[in-house]
Amino acid sequence: MTESYAIAPLTNTDVEAAAKLLIKHDLATGKHLSTRLDRLLACNEAVCFGAKVDAELVGVLLSISNGFHVFLSHIAVERGWQRKGIGTALVDAVKSAAKKRKARGIIVDSRITTAGYFFKRAFRLPGAVFMIHDVE
């Protein structure tokens, strides 16, 4: 297995592979996922990246800007490629894009089990309460 990977903006040709990766990591459901990803990528405010090894998508990061902040909502890396810098490179790509957009910051919603990953990458708790209402 080569250690070389490339980070680039996610494109519509990556949608099916990205959907499979998100489903595999239990970050999304399959129902209409490809359609939702296509819609996201069509949005001018999408800030989404993929990591590829030999044209195979091995990592994906989804985020979107509201004009003030970038909201990082999903990141997944194939298990065989974890701990090789891909997740960090994806987060760095979002940081760079946020800076270019003159965003005030990046907000991430993280599972408790992955909060340490984001702490190591200079994310902090803002002192705000994150609340959610399920939409059925």
Structure tokens at 30: 């399959």
User: What values do phi and psi take at 106, rounded to 5?
Assistant: -120, 130
Please say if the pLDDT value at position 1 is more than 50. no
pLDDT (tens digit per residue) in 57-69:
999 999 999 999 9
- All structural domains of the chain: 6-119 (3.40.630.30)
Q: How far apart are CA 23 and CA 121, in angstroms?
A: 25
pLDDT (tens digit per residue) in 86-134:
999 999 999 999 999 999 989 887 777 777 777 888 778 776 666 666 6
Cα angle at 107 between 88 and 134, to 5 degrees? 115
- Eight-state DSSP code of residue 68: S
- 48 to each of 12, 81, 129, 132, how far by Cα in Å? 11, 19, 25, 23
